[in-house]
Structure 1
Amino acid sequence: MTKKITNPEILAIRAAADVDPACGRVWVGLDVGLKSTSVCVLDRDGKVVHQVSMKTHPTEIGRYLAKNFASNVAVVGMETGAMSAHLADGLRRQGYQVAVMDALQVHRVLSLKRNKTDTNDARGIAEITRTGRDYLTEVYVKSAACYEVRAQLIMRHRLVQQRLANENMIRGLLRVYGGRVEPGAKSSATYRERVVEQLLIIQDHEGLNLRPRILPVLDLCERLQVDAERIETELEALAAANPICRRFMAVPGIGAITALSFFTAIEEPSRFRRADDVAAYLGLTPRVYQSGESLTHGKISKMGNRLTRTHMVNAATVLLSATKTFSSLKDWGVRLAKKVGFNKAKVAVARKLAVILFGMWRDGTHFQFKSETVEPHRQMMQAARA
């Protein structure tokens, strides 16, 4: 049996909604925790209607809102976090409008309060949702399919990092005994042969048998590489099946991993007004500080997705140093590297690549190796669609 509502504030807001739906609208703030979530509900005047703590689950929160406030919930607000995507997706499926705001910006607003508690944070988030959404960045929540691909990219990246860390650890241990593993091994089998060779040399010269300690780590490196290659094969198949990623991979330096990383980082190109906004979204544009007569351009902001930014910079490095095909982009990057250095040039090329990939995606065009053919090709594609 459903428990009867006795809270006078909730009853008053429901009665006001029966008379005029605009008077009964409420704004909800969620301070999300791993196990429990603090909920604060404000009316249109900013007064607290109800505060409660409940289990962090969209069904529990949705049931509470539906029972107490019917269809009068204007917006449900929360900050970005580990559970925000799951909660936002679940609440949206129940018909609620959800605003997910940048956690760093929300933290700066909430830091004005003297006491930091979950209850105060929930009320602050509700107040931001009611009045301050125009001043804070609202975060786009990606689809479940997009997160699945992102999870594969992250797992592959972690496996590669762990293998490299273990290999570097082995190199460091062998140097203590005078061993030196030659760099440049392209496979774990080649690396294993070089390490075993050094182990035998150390045993002959020093009389130390390090194989019982080193060989298990080498086995782990091989397993990590096998798992990383398996995930990479799956990602290559996904990229080959995606027509947009196939066009991305026609760009010099862009492989399946970078194409999927960029595709899943953006997912919906229509949410960007300009192509330059994509570079800023990925943290590839310089910070700007202006005060009075001073105007300073600093290093890149590094604000967006770190993994995708790394992939874009790696692609720019390959474009500048490994590709043999001529392109106006490479020519520009090489000339820039001579002026400002390779490290700054590769970041600038990565920024250009992000803009180019977004333009190809938005306009349905293909990569042009010469800059003078870009505009005619775009006009031709627009005419074909018309």
Structure 2
Amino acid sequence: MIERGLSKQPQASGKEAQHETFAGLDVSVKETSVCIVDETGKICREVKVVSHPDDLIAVLKDPTLRIERIGLEAGPLSQWLFEGLANAGLPAICIETRHTKAFLKAQPNKSDRNDARGIAQMMRVNLYRPVHVKTMTSQKRRALLTARKLLREKALAIENDLRGLLRNFGLKVGVVGAVKFEARICELVKGHFDLSEIVEPLLDARRKLRENFATLHRKLLTIVRNDEVCRRLMTIPGVGPVVALAYTATIDIPQRFRNSKAVGPILGLTPAMNQSGESRRIGCISLCGDGMMRTLLYEAAQVLLANVKKWSWLKAWAMNVAKRRGRQKAIVALSRRLAVIMHRMWVDGTEFRWTRKEITPAA
């Protein structure tokens, strides 16, 4: 463990150790700044340790300290560090990033040391917003979805670059699907030896990306096939295996929401309001929360409105919204309602109801 003192604050004595203390962690990739304050806000200890659970536990498990709360900002390492601290029996709390940033902005000088001090004071005065730390199963499912999306985007990027590259020589690919894309490229560069040498490595890279994408997609389908909740969510028109798996990985534990309608604001699908005195402005949706899940819900809403032929009360509701407010706003409203309905179905253990009969008020 690398530990370096950041200040010459005296160590807490045995008498002071009887009081409650609060810790703030400013996490970076290599090192984490730790600040511990007592209930009056006086700094008891400041150190810098390696960003690893074992090193943090060695500092925070000090028997001379009685730590009431440990705050760390949500970030790339927060889930891993939080799990390590929680398993060690430490009262770790993962706090919301935007709220923390607004609090720390009041400090004139920004540094790791000052950020750790600010987080410690937030924990002391109980001025923070906790963030749910997902279970390991949801984290692995999210990693699968992210890797699958990354491979797909890279393959599409190579295809678009190939189209642009050949267009410079008057070779137009035209409208062609993913299956026949490689054959079409080979047909166009036939007879152009120099172009063939340039295009072949790109096609080879695209082919490998597509193969790996198919491997991850089959793994995704296997998980969905063996998951009862995902299969139930897929009874909703427009919701496929990718949307269902992403929803379960994002929500993780449905009981953490007080009601189904609370899912919409968490996913950034409700309008943002700016009110001051007599002024009250309602803008576009807040766009906070999980961007991938929000995009998938938007795509599912588009499919339901445009491609699903079977009529349902949900599609009728969305069509009425489109007549009054326009198609774009109807898709956004339908995205939010899909999130609410999926949560209610998950909690109740029911399947989608195509008619208005026996619909719960929460939906």
Alignment-derived partner of residue 306 in structure 2: 321
Counterpart contact for 1:29–1:76, Cα < 8 Å: yes
Structure (1 or 2) with the greater helix fraction:
1
Is 1:265 the counterpart of 2:250? The answer is yes
Aligned with 2:42 (options 41, 47, 55): 47
1:155 alignment counterpart: 147
- Between 1:150-159 and 1:221-230, the stretch displaced more is 221-230
Q: Which amino acid aligns with 1:67?
A: D
Identical positions, percent: 35
Q: Which of these residues, 211, 217, 223, is aligned with residue 196 of structure 2? A: 211
Alpha-carbon distance between aligned partners in 2 of 1:11 and 1:352, rounded to the nearest angstrom: 54
Asked if 1:77 corresponds to 2:71, the answer is yes
| Aligned-residue offset at 1:178 | 2.0
Tell me the distance in 2 between the aligned counterparts of 1:180 and 1:341. 36
Q: Which of the numbers 33, 38, 60 marks the counterpart of 2:33?
A: 38
Distance 1:370 1:74, change over 3 A: same
1:196 maps to what in 2? Answer: 186
1:152 aligned partner, one-letter code = L
Asked whether the equivalents of residues 12 and 44 of structure 2 are also in contact (C-alpha less than 8 Å), the reply is: no
> Which position in structure 1 is the counterpart of 2:104?
110
1:15 Cα shift? Answer: 2.4
CA shift, 1:246, in A, is: 0.9
1:232 aligns with 2:217: yes
- SS of the residue aligned with 2:75? coil
Q: Return the offset for 1:334.
A: 2.7
- Map residues 1-386 of structure 1 onto 2, 5 A cutoff: 9-12=10-13, 14-17=14-17, 21=18, 24-69=19-64, 72-133=66-127, 136-187=128-179, 190-200=180-190, 203=191, 209-375=194-360
Q: What amino acid is aligned across from residue 176 of structure 1 in structure 2?
A: N
Q: Distance in 1 between matches of 2:242 and 2:345?
A: 18
CA distance in 2, matches of 1:91, 1:374: 43
Separation in structure 2 between the aligned mates of residue 339 and residue 331 of structure 1, nearest angstrom? 13
Residue of structure 2 in register with 1:381 after alignment: none
Q: Separation in 2 of the partners of 1:245 and 1:75?
A: 36
Q: CA shift at 1:262, angstroms? A: 0.5
3-state SS of 1:373 partner = coil
Q: Which amino acid aligns with 1:45?
A: T
Give me the whole-angstrom Cα distance separating, in 2, the residues matched to 1:82 and 1:76.
18
How big is the shift at 1:301? 1.2
Alpha-carbon separation, structure 2, partners of 1:9 and 1:270: 45
Q: Greater CA deviation, 230-239 or 324-333?
A: 324-333
What is the rounded CA distance, in whole Å, between the counterparts of 2:199 and 2:29 in structure 1?
39
Task: Report SS of the residue matched to 1:50.
Answer: strand
- SS of the equivalent of 1:372 reads coil
Shift of 1:112: 0.8
Distance verdict in 2 for CA 1:210–1:366, change over 3 Å: same
* C-alpha separation in 2, matches of 1:297 and 1:113: 31
SS of the residue corresponding to residue 61 of structure 2 reads: helix
Kept in 2, the 8 Å contact 1:30–1:76? The answer is yes
Q: Residue 343 of structure 1: CA displacement?
A: 2.8
State the Cα distance separating 1:336 from its structure 2 match.
2.7
Alpha-carbon shift at residue 208 of structure 1 (Å): 7.1
The one-letter code of the counterpart of 2:342 is L
C-alpha distance in 1 between matches for 2:158 and 2:289: 29
Q: Distance in 1 between matches of 2:76 and 2:97?
A: 11
Distance verdict in 2 for CA 1:96–1:311, change over 3 Å:
same
Q: What is residue 383 of structure 1 aligned with on the other side? A: none
- Could you say what secondary structure the match of 1:316 adopts? helix
Deviation track 1:259-312 (CA, whole Å, cap 9, x = no partner) reads 110001011111111212111111111111111222222111111111111111
Number of equivalences: 355
- Cα distance between partner residues in 1 of 2:135 and 2:196: 48
Structure 1, unaligned stretches of length 5 or more? 1-6, 379-386
CA contact (8 A) 1:10 1:69 kept: no
Q: Which AA in structure 1 matches 2:35?
A: C
- Structure-1 separation of matches of 2:123 and 2:9: 24
What is the Cα deviation at residue 153 of structure 1?
0.3
Unmatched segments (≥5 aa) in structure 2: 1-7
Structure 1 position 367, deviation (Å): 0.7
1:67, distance to aligned residue in structure 2 (A) = 2.6
Give, as a single letter, the amino acid of the residue that structure 2 aligns with 1:287: A
Q: Deviations over 1:39-80 (max 9, x none)?
A: 10011111111111111111111111223535x110100111
TM-score where L is the length of structure 1: 0.87
Aligned amino acid, residue 61 of structure 1? L
For 1:46 and 1:156, locate their aligned partners in 2 and report how far apart those are by CA, in whole Å.
47
Q: Distance in 2 between matches of 1:209 and 1:34?
A: 45
TM-score w.r.t. the length of structure 2 is 0.93
Q: Which residue of 2 aligns with 1:382?
A: none
Q: Deviations over 1:216-241 (max 9, x none)?
A: 21121121111111111111111111
Q: For residues 313 and 29 of structure 1, what CA distance do their matches in structure 2 show? A: 38
